[in-house]
Amino acid sequence: MSQPNSFNATEKVVTTLTILVGLLICSLCFTKCKKGENIINLDSPYKHKEHTSTELSHGAHNDSVAVTHTAPPIKESKEYKQLENKIQSLQAQIDKTQPTINTLQTEKTLLEEHVDRLNATLRTIATGTASGGDEEGAISAMQNLIKEKGDIISQLKQELASLTKIAASNDSQVEAFKKKIETLNMEKDVLARRSQSQLDELRQKISELENALNDSDSSKIFNKKLAEQEKQWQEKLDQLKVAHQLQLTQEIDTLNTKNDKLLMIIRKEKTKNVFAETSNELMPSAQSLVSNLDAYEGDDQTQLDTLYSGLSTLVNAERKAVVKFNKSSWTLRQSYKEKIQEVLAQSTPNSYFLAVGYADPKGSAAGNRKLSKNRATEVAEYIKPKLSDMQFTQAYYLGETSRFGAPEENRIVEIWEITQ
């Protein structure tokens, strides 16, 4: 707002200077005219040439006065020179001031353009406000954003100051660690020298002992003490052997007791019904096997062979034999009894056998479930008395199926061996 005032002041200066120059020029002209008049009217000893009336009437506009005596030139007067000097001085001042005036005028023009743009912006804002715009909201949002950025900058400055303090603290810790390392190195050198001194002392004592051993009397005393020490060591060793033997005996007795209890549990389990009504009554590994077998219903023979081969790694189970039965029968034939005996002869001492019964789809579902149950139970009951103490068997049924092909191929019991 101070620049428009500067323009007004400059314009006033220029105007004042212009007026002064005009006044000076007018004064100069007036002075010239006055002196010329005096020269013409001056009573001089010289005479003017007389004109006739005809010359005066025809030469009204070309009045010519013949002056026989001329005054000195005005330009040579002192007053004229003073005025000319003042005019030159003022002109010099004007020339000197002119660049500043031009610069101020340029700035004035730029400011006027800026004012015009501001006015246009104000009109735009006013128009936007009149049409429901939210310019104040935008300005407020910008102010809030500036304040938020200012807060972030302040926070960053605080964090920088904190990090600077931490860096200074770390530097001091590093210096402290360096001093501590120097101290430890000094202590290490001291300990090294001390250890060397102690080593030298030990060597000297050993040398003295070796010299003492060379003495027969000292040697006898040393041998006697050595024998006594060996006797004491032997007695302690015998005591340790006895204690260790006793501990081993106790541990063996404990393990035998646990083994007997396990055998009793196994015998009790074996005396129970071998058939499992639900999968929850099966061993955990057998539960996983039955779940997979039940999910294979509907797969063709090729897929079934692939899935069965994967069970050996999935549940550590392998199908050892397939026992076939006649239609509507669960009687175990002699040829399959012999096959079962071969399987048992090749089994591991802690094998678990699961007999899974099936029936063909002919007949009712309930009848087929009963038939597959009886077949699985028949096989498991035959296996049961032939097992060793740590072996175990159970029976389970999956009812009717057609997964194995023709009807006679589905009247079977699978014998699975699961290695514990």
What digits encode the pLDDT tens for the residues 272-286?
689 999 989 898 889
What digits encode the pLDDT tens for the residues 173-215?
767 767 777 777 777 677 767 778 887 887 887 777 767 666 6
Q: Which two tokens stand for residue 64?
A: 């010519």
Q: CB of 412 within 8 A of CB of 358?
A: yes
What whole-number distance in Å separates Cα of residue 352 and Cα of residue 174? 68
φ, ψ dihedrals at 353, nearest 5°:
-110, 135
Residue among 302, 323, 397, 304 nearest 356 (CA) = 397
Half-sphere exposure of 33 (CA within 13 A, CB side): 6
pTM for this entry: 0.40
Amino acid at 218: S
- Of residues 331 and 162, more confidently modeled: 331
CATH of domain 269-419: 3.30.1330.60
Amino acid at 269: E
Q: With a cut of 50, say whether residue 233 has pLDDT above it.
A: yes
Q: Which two tokens stand for residue 236?
A: 């302690």
What whole-number distance in Å separates Cα of residue 85 and Cα of residue 63? 35
Instruction: Over range 61-77, report the average pLDDT.
Output: 48
* HEC-encoded secondary structure of 92-111: HHHHHHHHHHHHHHHHHHHH
94, burial (CB in 10 Å: exposed 0-12, middle 13-18, buried 19+):
middle
Percent of the chain beyond pLDDT 90? 24
Cα dihedral 74, 79, 85, 89 in deg (nearest 10): -130
Q: Which two tokens stand for residue 156?
A: 């960053």
Q: With a cut of 80, say whether residue 304 has pLDDT above it.
A: yes
Amino acid at 77: S
- Pick the range with the lowest mean pLDDT from 57-66, 102-111, 242-251, 345-354: 57-66
- Of residues 406 and 167, more confidently modeled: 406
Instruction: Over range 114-119, report the average pLDDT.
Output: 71
Query: What pLDDT was estimated at residue 73?
Result: 56
Query: What pLDDT was estimated at residue 125?
Result: 60
Residue among 274, 259, 420, 265 nearest 347 (CA) = 420
Q: Which two tokens stand for residue 75?
A: 């330009």
What digits encode the pLDDT tens for the residues 352-373?
999 999 999 998 999 999 999 9
Q: CB of 340 within 8 A of CB of 407?
A: no
Number of neighbouring beta carbons within 10 Å of residue 399: 19
Q: Which residue in this structure is represented by tokens 């646990």?
A: 258
Residue among 305, 337, 311 nearest 324 (CA) = 337
Q: Which two tokens stand for residue 44?
A: 């001089």
Spell out the residues 6+ positions from residue 405 whose beta carbon is closer than 8 angstroms to its own: 301
Query: What pLDDT was estimated at residue 33?
Result: 56
Number of neighbouring beta carbons within 10 Å of residue 378: 19
Overall size of the chain counted in residues: 420
Spell out the residues 6+ positions from residue 389 whose beta carbon is closer than 8 angstroms to its own: 263, 266
Q: Which two tokens stand for residue 101?
A: 């005036």
What whole-number distance in Å separates Cα of residue 340 and Cα of residue 343? 5
Please name the helix (run of DSSP H) or strand (run of DSSP E) that holds residue 307, with its range, or none: helix 301-314
Return the domain boundaries, the chain: 2-43+67-121, 161-203, 269-419
Q: CB of 299 within 8 A of CB of 403?
A: yes
Spell out the residues 6+ positions from residue 356 whose beta carbon is closer than 8 angstroms to its own: 290, 293, 376, 395, 396, 397, 398, 413, 414, 416
